[in-house]
Chains A and B, each alone.
Chain A
Amino acid sequence: MRLQMRSWRLGLANALGLVLAVAATPAAALSIFTLPLVAPSAITPEGGSPEPLAGTLTVAIGSLPLVANTTLELTDVAVATGGGATFALDPGVASAGLGVLHPDGSLLIPTLFLQVDVGSGPQDLAIPNVTGTASFSGGGTALVGLDSAFDVDSPSGLLAVRVVAAPEPASFGLLALGLAGVALRRARQELSR
């Protein structure tokens, strides 16, 4: 009974750690993660000051841990600027955020199809060649960071875009707790064998 209780507590910790920190729900062949944007995520006009970006990215990864090229797909983008512009995946393209993740963690989305709404209704915005890096923990099974930077050549000058997604600092503890729980449970299972 005590053992069962302990297992339940560890299970809860796992759930809190994974769901609250990185919302990871690993599936057999597809792992899904939701990460909030963190500093220094921003859009910076040429010669202007950065405008922070906030929101979340949901990412589906074809196969973890990384041993070969696999798919990386943004399945949800919910991002906004302080000025009120919102960014979401283009609902008219079924594979709007589909890309490739290499074993070294580098990623490439050949064309990222977004819709932007600056208050006058959504408009298409395709971004070619979005590159970046993904970082993992938990033996390569948990996505803990995305980092991408690119420039947009607009009529009024260059816009530098930086997107960094990672668990919030407060969530790191929960993530660590969850991962520790996983490790502890595995250790117990090993011992009981």
Chain B
Amino acid sequence: MTPRRFALVALPLCAAGALGVASCPSGGPGGALVAQQVVTAPGFVEPHTPGSGVAGVEMPVTLAVQAIAGPTPNLNRVSYLRTHLTGGPPPRAILILVPGFLGGGGTFSPLARQLVAKFNGNLEVWAIDRRPNQLEDRRGSLYTQQLLESATTPEQVADALYQGVLFYFPESDGVDINENGEVDPQTELPDALGNQSSYVQLAQDDMRFAAYWGLDTYLRDWRSVVDAARAVVGPQGLVLFGGHSMGTYYASVYAAYDFDPDPNVVDAGYRSIDGILLLEGGGAGAASASAPDLASYQSTVAGLATAGGPDVFLENSPILQGIVPSVLGPGAEMAGLAGVQLPLESSILQRTSLFLDPPFSLLFHAPTTNRGAVGFFIDDDFQPFTAFRASVGFSDDGPNTFVKASPPSFPAPFYVANPNSDLRQWKDFDDPTLPSCPPNTQNVSPGCAIVDNGPRPAPTDPPKNWGVEREVTSLDDVLAIQFSAMNFIEWYYLAGRTNLDGSYGRDSSALVAQSVAATGSEGPLVLTQNAHVDVPVLCLGGSNGLAPVESSFASYLTSIATPPADEEIHIIEGYAHLDMITAKKNDAVPYITDWVNRLMVRKLLGP
């Protein structure tokens, strides 16, 4: 037989002198051999999009977009973060993951690294960055990272951080980011047009072409990624498609989509994949009663495409209580860099308009360190929005005000940290002194990191948080993702065309029927195959997250044709929403590993 050669991750034999192994890879499990690569490839050629080359249809590009993407950009591109084993053989399985609401592809990095290490490279993870991510102006962050490479003194490190922060956030009277007593000019850097400019924050009218960036465009982008993955693993390998949070919606509608434009031919998404993975989200729901008819749909798209029309991306949404993603995004990048470089110094970001204005000025006003600023923002005990929560530790060195849950804005309680006489410090997830309730009392300061949310509901009960919370995510990992190549936040989360498409839930058959009758074509959104989806589905929820009970997945699972034996649900006690993808030793890994492994063998067994 032919010997098989492979690389060892987290080489366990490195201490085995008897085996003649002298040295170990550094960096912990997988640290030395698990690698990440940003892959950018041609995406679906959406004709209205700059760079499509479709005369008379391609929309013009504004100077702001050119400053970021170049004078003649081609924006029909698809990008993903490939996590793989360096030098290993081709994998037998590729797991494609779509991030959730406001999430960048980098959010999957901790989970992806653990899975690739667990499989010793026989599984790769490709984490999608949706196409608006290519319009993020990351010059300030990248410039700071460049300066940091040659910074040798604390002063030089601080200056590098100030340069980047001042690129994104202007100073004014009362806003003194570098604390030099002066109002400094914004940092300007060369842009893609060769000019010097500070942060280019896109306006709605800079992205009117995004009126045509709906589900159809996204799904056709991702179909090309699926096809690329299939070319790697071959017909006997596995291509699995999944998502986290809102990404589970995208994964389920991928499976339900008919990619063939001919009304008489079906090319269903689910036939191109071998399984669906739903992480902390219940997949696509049923259609809204307000799903528009074809004429209304077309009229809405036309409005989105018109200057001054409705928003194409999320900007000042009441959902976010005043948080603007294209301000939060760069703030998160710089906060991550500051948290790594000057972890215990006073927070630089707290001196910017991001923190000085509501709602941050109300929620995160206690002076803290650079690490603490990110900890307070993302921790499940201090972050009001469940969708942004991970269990990264606690801060109990000052008074914490308990805020009761007030749905729908704040569905779970949280703390607001108040000042102490110094800087509030952050205790990490593995700190042995993290407070619990009991002996502490949840609504009495300082409260607690670890709360018992009560007994587990029955599988058919309505979703409700339960169980004993756990602290499982490393703040260091979260900090590193903030400024990684595919970062944590999606600065321009599309909410115009995608929300319109979302109103059809998992089935747009009525819209397709209207379109076929009117035009002979299937029309702009072809979600017609959901009821036929029959591939295995693995559902993982967190008891302290957004999918805490088996019933969280019921609507989707009962809408598809997958037999019950191929539907698997596990709820991980104590996990908050983001823990499912960011936990250090992720309890999701054994479930996913076993599921993928069994599917591999099933595929090899043949029909």
On A, residues with C-beta under 8 Å from B are 43, 45-46, 48, 51, 69-71, 81-85, 92-96, 98-100, 106, 108, 110-111, 113, 115-120, 122-133, 147-160
Contacts and interface: CB of A to CB of B under 8 A. Distances in A.
A159 B7 CA distance: 10
Contact of B597 (A83, A98, A151): A98
Contacts of B8: 125, 152-155
Given A124-B10, A124-B118, A128-B120, A156 B21 contact: yes
Given A70-B605, A110-B604, A126-B9, A93 B16 contact: no
Contacts of A51: 18-19
Contact of A84 (B18, B25, B29, B122): B18
Contacts of B89: 128-129
A155 B12 contact: no
A149 B1 contact: yes
A106 B22 CA distance: 35
A177 B11 CA distance: 45
Given A83-B17, A110-B597, A124-B10, A156 B122 contact: no
A94 B590 CA distance: 8
B601 A129 contact: no
A59 to B, nearest CB: 14
B22 A156 contact: yes
Given A111-B119, A126-B122, A127-B120, A100 B601 contact: yes
Given A69-B605, A151-B5, A95 B594 contact: yes
A146 to B, nearest CB: 12
A83 B2 CA distance: 27
Overall SS of chain A's interface: strand
A85 B120 CA distance: 20
Closest 10 A/B residue pairs (Cβ): A83-B18, A45-B20, A123-B12, A126-B120, A128-B122, A116-B12, A150-B4, A118-B16, A151-B5, A110-B600
Given A92-B589, A93-B593, 19 more contacts: A45-B19, A69-B606, A110-B600, A111-B122, A111-B597, A113-B597, A123-B12, A126-B119, A128-B4, A130-B4, A131-B4, A152-B8, A153-B87, A154-B13, A154-B21, A155-B24, A156-B20, A156-B21, A159-B19
A126 B601 CA distance: 15
Contacts of A71: 601, 605
B295 interface: no
A100 B6 contact: no
Given A110-B122, A124-B29, A132-B1, A43 B19 contact: yes
